[in-house]
Amino acid sequence: MLRKNPLERLTEIEGLGAGRRTSSGGYASSLMVRLARAIGRFAPAHYRSRLRTLIHKAGLAGRVRPEEIFGLKLMGALILPLVALYFCAIFKLPTTQTVIFLGLAGVSGYIAPDFWLSHQVSKRRRLVSRHLPDFIDLLATCVEAGLGLDAAIDRISRRFPGPLGEEFQRYLWEVQIGRPRSVALMGIAERTNCDDIRILAASLTQAELFGIPIANVLRAQAEALRERRFQQARERARRAPLLMLPALVFCFLPVIFLLLFVPLLIRARQSGLLQFLGF
């Protein structure tokens, strides 16, 4: 029998983790997950590969499987129209409105898991971008204190909660099984879809090739990341008045007009001025 490589064993471990999660939940949720997994086995291979990539980017590997997501999409496309049909029958809506509600319910049930998965990916990317400068600062401090890069990453990532620590723990595991450091770092950038980590990976690779002290590179990267974060905050602050304009126009200005002109109209009506003007 051929021996499997560590990445294939990791895939099997993720599958077993998903199986343990479904068996440890309630009976109803476990039954729903099993049904979704059974339906999701009919998903095309390329679509399952795309869902698997999104699951890894969302940090849900080992907890959610691509077959479950596809099965939930099909179940939502079937169950939500039935629920909508039930409410349409209760309220006795016309046929045209019933058809429109059924179509909207089916589309919503089909795309809802995609929206949830995309939200998890974007949420994880924001957490990684927020904590990355502090992580690099601590990493530079440990390297300056005499630790090697991998030892410093191991020391910090164990005490750093959230997706950033999880990704660097996986980086250490990949380096231990023989994957090149630059490839493992770029893997973090691909999974998190974070340009800052991609720049960090390129800088560390160049520092390793040309013999530049890694502590200096890390300190410079931390300062650059913090400066980019301040620039993004300034840009958001400059866009704030434009975002507040619709709220001012549709919420505050009508109230101000009512407070200013309604008392005047009431006094004009009481004094007979409106009748004199023909109103």
Q: What is the mean pLDDT of residues 8-26?
A: 45
Distance CA 217, CA 235 (A): 27
- The CATH number of the domain covering residues in 127-229: 1.20.81
57, 81 contact by CB (below 8 A):
no
Distance CA 85, CA 10 (A): 44
CA-based end-to-end distance of the chain: 96
Give residue 20's pLDDT band: very low, low, confident or very high (50, 70, 90): very low
- Please give the share of the chain, as a percent, with pLDDT higher than 90: 23
Q: What is the mean pLDDT of residues 183-191?
A: 89
**CA atoms within 13 Å, Cβ hemisphere of 238:** 6
0.85 surpassed by pTM: no
172, 154 contact by CB (below 8 A):
yes
Neighbouring-strand partners of residue 61:
64
Task: Please check the confidence at residue 27 and state whether its pLDDT lies above 80.
Answer: no
More confident residue, 269 or 182: 182
The pLDDT assigned to 26 comes to 54
**pLDDT digit string, tens, across residues 35-79:** 888 888 888 889 889 999 899 888 888 888 999 999 999 999 999
Q: What is the mean pLDDT of residues 69-98?
A: 91
Q: What are the backbone dihedrals phi and psi of residue 114, each rounded to the nearest 5 degrees, phi first?
A: -65, -45
Q: What is the mean pLDDT of residues 11-37?
A: 58
Q: What is the mean pLDDT of residues 168-185?
A: 90
The pLDDT assigned to 109 comes to 93
Task: Give the helix/strand (H/E) hosting 53.
Answer: helix 45-57
The CA–CA distances, whole Å, from 3 to 9, 101, 172, 174, 197 equal 10, 54, 22, 18, 33
Rg of the chain (C-alpha set): 28
**pLDDT digit string, tens, across residues 2-11:** 444 444 444 4
Task: Please check the confidence at residue 104 and state whether its pLDDT lies above 70.
Answer: yes
The pLDDT assigned to 70 comes to 92
Q: Is 64 helix (H, G, I), strand (E, B) or coil?
A: strand
The pLDDT assigned to 273 comes to 66
Task: Please check the confidence at residue 16 and state whether its pLDDT lies above 60.
Answer: no
